[in-house]
Structure 1
Amino acid sequence: MALLALLVLLALAGPVWATWDTCRGTCGLRPMAFDHSSVAAEYSQDSDYEPLDSSDGASLDKGGAGVHPGAWPGVISVQATLENGTWHMCSGALIHPQWVLTVAQCFTRAGDISRWEVVIGATDLSQPGPEAELRHIQTLLVHQYYDPATARNNIALLELDQPVECSDYIQLGCVPDSSLAVPELKTCYMAGWRATPDSAPGPRLVLQEAKVRLIDVQLCNSSRWYGGAVHPQDLCAGYPRGGIDTCQGDSGGPLVCKDNAGDYFWLVGLASWGKGCAGAKRPGVFTSTQHFHTWIQVQLGLLPPEADAPAPEPFPSPEEEPEADSGREVNPNPDDSEDYTGVSFQQQILGKFLNLLLELLHFLKGDKA
């Protein structure tokens, strides 16, 4: 009977398992990257990195060549085709073979989303290469409580028209749940697309990276920094003295941190906003993906919608308790005890299923006796 129950559960979860299996259920891997420990040692706050402090395409590093192909296999480019050509609009991260995580502000005036597309697995947008994949956007899901004025809940999901196959150049990002102590992660990077004006025959948009540090949100929100503008669902990353930062065109760019115990990376943030570029006490502000882990799971169909319901209002104290509403049904099941607790429809079905299994087991044992 245990086998029967397992088969029933597999039948219910089959489509989800099949989707994730195209990338073997893995995430956070960088098959084409150099040794991470040696790379981390080369970068420091005093490294030869220039700030992202201009909108004319100044490159992140002085060489301007960008990262080597496959260095960040989960970073994608969201592009729009307009009357004057196709343009990179923002960045994002592949978190599922058919879903991309990015920021909502990228689509404030998006217009016809069918004219937008996603480039996956490229490090040079002018020459994506045979390992890159191009997909159109089938569905745009902006967070229902996104506020453009304050950048609160600045997150969105893009469903691709077809799933992609993972490779050395295409990998999934790992979104952490509440069990990961994100502030304790030490080796973090941000990535963004930068133009190379000295290249022939013209500028090329290439992917570049920089090592950054997570900055305590309370410090980031202090009066001499951002003065309370950073939300609880945000992260700050960069350096107190500036010099390395996100800038124009980096919206949605991933902030990733290496796991302290394993050789894989966590997608902890998405570039959201900032004041200026690379200034002292003005680090980049990122949407914390950990804060929206449940929301992502609900949108992907991995959790029921009620799992992401808003937190209930606190119960009033006895002296503030309002008068009873005669039209409200206090206990929907009067046969239950006073400590009645509501359960979801799925829980009710599961309970009935388990009861049937128990009855069948008792019946079989009786036959054998």
Structure 2
Amino acid sequence: MALLRLLLLLGLAGPAGGTWDSCRGTCGLRPVAFDRSSAVPEYSQDRSYEPLESSEGASQDTGGTGVHPGAWPGVISIQATLENGTWHMCAGALIHPQWVLTVAQCFRGAGDISRWEVVIGATDLSQPGPEAELRRIHTFHVHKYYDPATAGNNIALVELERPVECSDYIQLGCVPDGSLAVAELKTCYTAGWRGAPDSAPGPRLVLQEAKVRLMDVQLCNSSRWYGGAVHPQELCAGYPRGGIDTCQGDIGGPLVCKDNVGDYFWLVGLASWGKGCAGAKRPGVFTSVQHFHTWIQVQMGLLPPEADVPPPELPPSPAPESDSGSGNLEKSNGEDSEDYTAVSYRHRILGQFLKLLQELLQFLKGEEA
């Protein structure tokens, strides 16, 4: 047991700093996925988000392609059962057998969530299939500095009523800490729920994916793009020319990038806001989950509350006008940087490592005796 714990701590049983659990110490795997680099169109993301209480707008052609079962084993659908039916509200990512990461916008005005559920392991919400799991929500944590007017700190954690079991169709996303150079990752994808073209007479939401590129935030913030509305704790992904994009069904959907060395993917962003859908110079803007690594650990009880220092007060930047009139969320209002915890966190890990190494040496001495 000491040896296994040591391997997990060193990251030899899975990507370091990416998962806090179970699933045999792994995260970021896509067991039944295959190389679709020639089949998946490149995604020039630009989106207009609103909570998807209907599938309105989800049928827009934004360049994504449907996925086969198991291709995105960490993507989930958060659904609400209302008087007029059950509706997909937003997407998210499973990061622990009992925890889902999504955006705070999903719960804006949510009220009673006793009839909300999370679907895990599905690619077609009308026919989830036997490999899918359904869980009720035990509780949720919206970032206390979330600003709906600017989309600042647009992140939330959902605790499921009970854990799920990992399988080829259900896997954990890897949340990077401050040591990962996210900007250097080259192969990235995003996914979201869209209306299937054959969904007549009613909507049938299926999971679609698209290949995207991380874009320089300075370019994204230039005067002809978003004019300074994108903050450091956000990412831009897409293409300057547009043409491929996320839209309403993608809110909270994951942005993942393949590790430059290992055969696994990092969960680097959550679909947050944009202006229009698939327009030139209007890429998708994502909450950068790396900047909220400590906040996530605090909410999950892995670090004490005092570890999460509040972000500095910054004056809000003017939000760009919405093309679609759907209340696009724009801007992140504070910087939830990991810099303030990097040193203490690494010291803590080093202390754990030395303790486990001592246990291992004692175990080996006992075996020799």
Establish whether residue 210 from structure 1 lines up as the match of residue 202 from structure 2. Answer: no
Residue pairs, 1:1-369, within 5 angstroms: 22-35=22-35, 39-43=36-40, 45=42, 55-58=57-60, 60-61=62-63, 66-199=66-199, 202-310=202-310
How far apart, in 2, do the equivalents of 1:102 and 1:94 lie?
9
Gaps of 5+ in 1: 7-18, 314-342, 355-369
SS of aligned partner of 1:113: coil
> In 1, distance between residues paired with 2:102 and 2:133?
18
C-alpha distance in 2, partners of 1:272/1:307?
A: 25
Q: Secondary structure at the match of 2:306?
A: helix
- Encode CA deviations 1:247-294: one digit per residue, 9 max, x unaligned: 112110000000010110000000000000111100000000000011
How many Å separate the matches in 2 of 1:117 and 1:111?
Answer: 14
Contact kept in structure 2, 1:91 and 1:251, CA below 8 Å: yes
Deviation of the 1:44 alpha carbon: 5.5
| 1:322 counterpart residue number | none
Measure how far apart 1:78 and its partner are: 0.3
TM-score (structure 1 length as normaliser): 0.74
Question: Structure 1: how far apart are the matches of 2:39 and 2:115?
Answer: 41
Task: Answer yes or no: is the 8 Å Cα contact 1:140–1:158 preserved in 2.
Answer: yes
Provide the C-alpha distance between the structure 1 equivalents of 2:130 and 2:307, rounded to a whole number of angstroms. Answer: 41
- State the one-letter code of the partner of 1:58: Q
- Structure 2 unaligned regions, length at least 5: 6-18, 49-55, 314-343, 356-369
* CA distance 1:167–1:183, change in 2 (3 Å): same
- Partners of 1:311 and 1:270 lie apart in 2 by 19
| Cα distance change on mapping 1:98 and 1:109 into 2, 3 Å | same
Provide closer, same or farther for how the CA distance between residues 245 and 56 of structure 1 changes in structure 2, counting only shifts above 3 A: closer
Deviates more, 1:199-208 or 1:126-135: 199-208
Would you say the 8 A contact 2:46–2:238 is kept in 1?
no
CA distance in 2, matches of 1:218, 1:131: 42
CA distance in 2, matches of 1:200, 1:230: 38
Q: How far apart are residue 22 of structure 1 and its match?
A: 3.6
CA distance in 2, matches of 1:227, 1:199: 38
The SS at the match of 1:141 is: strand
Aligned residue identity for 2:26: T
Q: Does the residue aligned with 1:218 lie in a helix, a strand or coil?
A: helix
When the two structures are superposed, what TM-score results if normalisation uses the length of structure 2? Answer: 0.74
Cα distance in 1, alignment partners of residues 99 and 276 from structure 2: 31
| Conservation of the 8 A alpha-carbon contact between 2:192 and 2:250 | yes
Distance in 2 separating the partners of 1:178 and 1:20: 16
CA displacement at 1:50 relative to structure 2: 11
Q: What displacement does 1:200 show?
A: 6.2
Summarize the Cα distance change of 1:199–1:150 in structure 2 as closer, same or farther, 3 Å threshold: closer
* Residue 41 of structure 1: how far off its partner (Å): 4.4
Distance 1:60 1:44 in 2: 10
Q: CA separation of 1:61/1:279 partners in 2, compared to 1, >3 Å: closer, same or farther?
A: closer
Indicate how the Cα distance of structure 1 residues 26 and 67 shifts in structure 2: closer, same or farther if over 3 A, else same. same
Q: Which AA in structure 1 matches 2:89?
A: M
**Residue of structure 2 in register with 1:338 after alignment:** none
Partners of 1:93 and 1:100 within 8 A in 2: yes
The alignment of Structure 1 onto Structure 2 pairs a total of residues equal to: 297
Bigger Rg, structure 1 or 2? 1
Q: What's the CA shift for 1:197? A: 3.5
Tell me the amino acid that sits aligned with residue 153 of structure 1: N
Q: CA deviation at 1:58?
A: 3.1
SS across alignment from 2:130: coil
- Report if the CA contact (8 A) 2:104-2:155 is conserved: yes
| 1:99-146: CA deviation from partner (whole Å, max 9, x where unpaired) | 000000111111101111100000000000000000011111000100
Higher relative contact order (CA closer than 8 Å, sequence separation 6+): 2
CA gap 1:20/1:307 in 2 versus in 1, 3 angstroms: closer
Matched residue of 1:286: which SS? strand
**Deviation (angstroms), 1:301:** 1.1
Shift of the 208–60 alpha-carbon distance from structure 1 to 2, 3 Å rule, reads farther
| 193-202 or 249-258, which deviates more | 193-202
* CA–CA distance in structure 1, aligned partners of residues 185 and 98 of structure 2: 28
> Aligned partners of 2:21 and 2:147: how far apart in 1?
35
Give yes or no for contact 2:75–2:94 (8 Å, CA) kept in 1: yes
Distance 1:312 1:269, change over 3 A: closer
Question: Structure 2: how far apart are the matches of 1:157 and 1:214?
Answer: 24
